[in-house]
Structure 1
Amino acid sequence: MPSTASSPPGASAAHSKTNLDSIWERLAHAQVLRRRALGVLGTLAVLTLPWVGSAWPEAGWVNQGLEWLGLVLMVLALLGRCACMLYLGGRKGADLVAEGPYAVCRNPLYFFSIVAVLGIGLQTGSLTVGLVLALAAWAVFRWIVSEEERMLRACFGAPFDDYCVRVPRFLPRPSAWNSPRHVTVDLQGVWNTVRDALPYFLSIPVFEAIEAAQNAGWFHVRLWLY
């Protein structure tokens, strides 16, 4: 009777670990590309926006209102990202977090980053600029999310598939909010989040400087956008 070859003990676990390591390496590379893509996006914006102006009068209520709305969105993004870190509590990569912001949106950190980019764009006084920048950021994050989900599915399997069914990828569903009474806080993680988000607010003096340079005739606006 022919014998049936069987895998040595632990071979399956070793194979799974190898696959998971490969996924982590792919994700790390994707994160590098994400940062580069966002860097290119920011550079293009800085190089292009001096020749773009708001079609709304600079001192008008619409222009000023968009700038104030942008500031509110940046503050909201900062607070939202901090809230995400409160619930992660150092567990990122170790547990499937499905509480607080992660109960209403699978990628709240990226969602709030898009909100921040929208707020930054509104500092130009143009809704069109804000939406274009936010759409570009969404395209970058949408790509990296697909890579992250590959890793999460390999780590958590069926529970992650169930989580994807219940919770939307980007657009929050507030009615799904649930939270324990107590959470473990990673203070260093929260501080790092605040530190990383503070550059959002540099857009205010940067775009004010661009407007001043345009008014002084250093840059000639070629495109007026509402």
Structure 2
Amino acid sequence: MATLPTSAHDLAQIQSRRKTRIRLAVLLFSPVLLFTSGVFEPGSWQREALESTGLLMVFVAILGRAWSTLYIGGRKIDHLVTSGPYSVTRNPLYLFSFAAAAGLGAQTGSITIALVLVLVAYAIFWPVVQREEAALHEIHGESFELYLKSVPRFAPRWRSWKDAHQLEIDPSRLRQTVLDGLIMLALVPLIRSIGCLQASIPNLPVLALF
């Protein structure tokens, strides 16, 4: 079996750092949520609409990440996947993760917090995307350059859609993706419960954000 380039080997460490940064971001951002809230009152139609839209985004993100994993399996670097969701965007897993971040942020009732969470997710994933692209370019050369020119990094180009004749599914990777999705879903009631916690603490300073 051929040895992958150093840049590809380094990706394991980059992915590990990404997970550490996500955990750190959650730890740092959790106290912020305690002292902020949305401007819309709980129970108002605006708040309900925002939370429902956010919940829909979380579901779309979970399904989208599972869908992308069916196509990518465990072949993200050593095989250039250009079909299914990877035919319309080069990074569907990260794109759906941005949707999840926005959806979870919307559970606070604040559009501002939702946007901030998307920016935090972007800052975490951006170095990983750069290293993955460098590794793919080193391994696949001209094939990746053509893919780079025809498929956007994030924003989907639906007219580029093409499907695969068959899929090689990695069960362990799919299970992990589903587990990640369940964790995202479990965060929804936790974030919504912050409002109850705020109400139970007398004289707690809370900044209302749009």
User: Any idea what the Cα deviations from partners look like across 1:191-224, whole Å, max 9, x if unmatched?
Assistant: 2210122111122221222110111225724311
Report the number of matched residues. Answer: 209
Q: Specify the code of the residue in structure 1 equivalent to 2:55.
A: L
SS in 1 for 2:115: helix
Kindly indicate whether the alpha-carbon contact (under 8 Å) linking 1:114 and 1:138 is maintained by their aligned counterparts in 2: yes
Matched-pair contact (CA < 8 Å) for 1:117–1:130: yes
- State the secondary structure of the residue aligned to 1:97: coil
Residue type of the alignment partner of 2:6: S
The aligned residue for residue 3 of structure 1 is none
Determine if contact 2:50/2:107 at 8 Å carries over to the other structure. Answer: yes
* 2:37 partner SS: strand
* C-alpha displacement of 1:184: 3.1
Equivalence for 1:57: 41
Written as runs of structure 1 = structure 2, the 5 A alignment for 1:10-29 is 20-29=4-13
Alignment of 1:87-102 (within 5 A): 87-102=71-86
Q: Return 5+ residue gaps in structure 1 as ranges.
A: 1-13
Percent of pairs identical after alignment?
36
TM-score, reference length from structure 2:
0.92
Judged with a 3 Å threshold, the aligned counterparts in structure 2 of structure 1 residues 218 and 161 are, in CA distance, closer, same or farther, namely farther
Residue among 175, 179, 189 paired with 1:195:
179
Q: Residues 74 and 173 of structure 2 are in contact (CA less than 8 Å); yes or no, is this contact kept in structure 1?
A: yes
- Measure how far apart 1:131 and its partner are: 0.6
Query: Which of these two proteins has the greater Rg computed from alpha carbons?
Result: 1
| Pair 1:206-2:190 in alignment | yes
Q: Does residue 107 of structure 1 match 2:62? A: no
CA deviation vs aligned residue, 1:44-82 (integer Å, no higher than 9, x gap): 221111000111111111111111111111110011011
Q: 1:215 aligned to 183, 190, 199, which one?
A: 199
Shift of 1:116: 0.6
In structure 2, the CA distance between the partners of 1:161 and 1:218, relative to structure 1 (3 Å rule), is farther
- What secondary structure is seen at the aligned counterpart in 1 of 2:208? strand
Per-residue CA deviation, residues 65-109 of structure 1 (Å, 9 max, x unaligned), is 111111111110011011111112443333100000000000111
Normalised by the length of structure 1, the TM-score is 0.86
Rounded Cα–Cα distance in structure 1 between residues aligned with 2:32 and 2:209 = 13
The residue that corresponds to 2:152 in the other structure is: 168
CA contact under 8 A between 1:53 and 1:221: conserved in structure 2?
no
Q: 1:181 Cα shift?
A: 4.2
Aligned to 1:148: 132
CA RMSD of aligned residues (A): 1.8
Contact conserved, 2:35 with 2:206, CA < 8 A, in 1? yes
Q: Aligned partner of 1:65: which letter?
A: A
Shift of 1:142: 1.5
